[in-house]
Structure 1
Amino acid sequence: MSNEINDLIKQRQRQAKNKKNQIPYGIMVILIAVILCIVLWQSHYKYAVCLILGVGIGIVLRFSRFCFAAAFREPFLIGNTKLIRAILLGMMVSTIGFALIQSHYIHGKIVNYQMIPGEVNSVGIHVMIGAFMFGIGMVLAGGCSSGVLMRIGEGHLLHIVVLVGFFIGTILGAKDYSFWFKNIIHNAKIIYFPEHLDFKIVVAVQMIVLVILYVLALWYEKRRCKDA
């Protein structure tokens, strides 16, 4: 077994040596992005800001290997909860951030959904159906939207098929959205907890739940490591 592993390592090393140097391509892409950013900043600075944020998020995704599909898959396959814990930490940060922002738009029990920053949408059977279909799509595609885009950027050509599926699904969704909104989404109820409970209590309860889930995920990973 050890000889087979050594042979496999040597084979991987030979393959790595035969690969072309990707650094010049990386420098070229960075220069194109910088030039495009300068041009956009002079005419449409908002697009330039979006480009900077997009490149920054792409770099973070690339080096963090962040993927929602992997986050929910790896705990069951290999017992690794690092990604799901990262999602929980992100939710904690966003909970505090959105709470600080939205608190200025809530006055007692009167809430104007159009004025609150962020999306406050209705909850109904359409959410369950959409989430179920999206979950199946993630499994078949081998990754979520961010994970697929990241792998395309790395040169995995197979995921271009998934990207085509993104385009088709987006077009169909935009085409048929009026039908779903009129018959299902419009009739569903909007549930915004600050309308029923004190805003501070809502934020505190959500933070407690997220912390408990984080601790449980960490405990689950340690237990799986001991069992292995």
Structure 2
Amino acid sequence: MGTNAFHSQQKWNLGFIVFLSLLLVLLAQISIHLTLIFALGISLGFVLQKSRFCLVSALRDPILIGMTQLTRAFLLLLGISILGFALVSWGASQRNIPLILNVFPLGVHTVVGGLLFGIGMVLAGGCSTGILMRIGEGFAMQGVAFFGLVVGAVLGERSLIYWRNLFGEWPGIFLPDLLGWVPTLILEIAMLVALWQLAKWWQNKQLGE
């Protein structure tokens, strides 16, 4: 039975790969840009599903079970993103290409919204990407969580002006404008390295490694 199930799964995988390949070929006839976006989405979904990467696990596991592998993976992701953004910004400045940055203001509503979103992630059992990944795997209950995510996002967007007026806001801060690019990179990477070491120490302490 096990061998038959394995071969059956292989056939499904092969069929799915053929289907995706044909779909990409058809999309390429319509728009190369759309094809690249679709291929990137499929690739990201594949990596997320195989790595089991989830922001909830990265923030929850150190407290519940003392494991920090995903926490350190998240810190690594931040480090790569910071270096990549700095490289793109430097390349744009060398070519005199203007960059439009969205540095949003902060307020009490930002903290309250973050806490509510964090509590919701834990109760739902996954972050936004985790919910989408599990829906793709066939977990029907994650569809309920996704519906709540969509409703909450729409209500939040429609009522954002009200919360801004109620709590007030402070101007957003873009560190390179205050410190310069090199000091900002040094500061951010140093903070990530310190958090990495702290996460590693916490796991060793909790699990007795």
TM superposition score normalised by structure 1: 0.79
Residue among 26, 39, 54 paired with 1:67: 54
Q: What is the aligned partner in structure 1 of residue 32 from structure 2?
A: 45
Residue 7 of structure 1 aligns with which residue? none
* 1:157 maps to 2:140: yes
* Partner residue in 2 for 1:197: 179
Q: Does 1:129 align with 2:112?
A: yes
Q: In the alignment, what sits opposite 2:99?
A: 116
Query: Does residue 141 in structure 1 map to residue 128 in structure 2?
Result: no
Encode CA deviations 1:46-91: one digit per residue, 9 max, x unaligned: 1111111111111111111100001111111111100000000111
Contact persistence 1:101–1:117 (CA under 8 A): no
**In 2: Cα distance, 1:174 partner to 1:126 partner:** 13
Displacement after TM superposition at 1:179 (Å): 4.7
Q: Name which of 218, 222, 225 aligns with 2:200.
A: 218
Residues 102 and 117, structure 1, Cα contact 8 Å, conserved in 2: no
- The number of aligned residues is 205
Q: CA RMSD in A?
A: 2.7
Q: Name the aligned partner's letter for residue 136 of structure 1.
A: I
Identity of aligned residues (%): 35
The aligned counterpart of 2:188 is: 206
Aligned to 2:149: 166
C-alpha distance 25-175 of structure 1, shift in aligned 2 (>3 A): farther
Displacement after TM superposition at 1:174 (Å): 4.1
Which residues of structure 2 form unaligned runs of 5+? none
1:185–1:206: structure 2 CA closer, same or farther, 3 Å change rule? farther
What TM-score, normalized by structure 2, do the two folds share?
0.85
Question: Equivalents in 1 of 2:30, 2:135: separation in Å?
Answer: 30
Code of the aligned partner of 1:175: R
- Letter of the 1:41 counterpart: A
Aligned-residue offset at 1:19:
6.7
Mark the runs of 5 or more structure 1 residues left unpaired by the alignment: 1-13, 108-114
Residue type of the alignment partner of 2:66: G
Q: Does 1:82 align with 2:65?
A: no
Equivalents in 2 of 1:185, 1:44: separation in Å? 45
Give me the whole-angstrom Cα distance separating, in 2, the residues matched to 1:35 and 1:17: 29
* Partner amino acid, structure 2, of 1:214: W
Q: 1:23 to 1:152 in 2, by over 3 A?
A: farther
- Report how far residue 167 of structure 1 moved: 2.6
| SS of the residue 2:208 aligns to | helix
CA distance in structure 2 between the aligned counterparts of 1:81 and 1:191, rounded to whole angstroms: 30
CA distance change for structure 1 residues 33 and 206 in 2, over 3 Å: closer, same or farther?
Answer: same
What is the identity, as a one-letter code, of the residue corresponding to 2:99? I
**In structure 1, the residue corresponding to 2:203 is in which secondary structure?**
helix
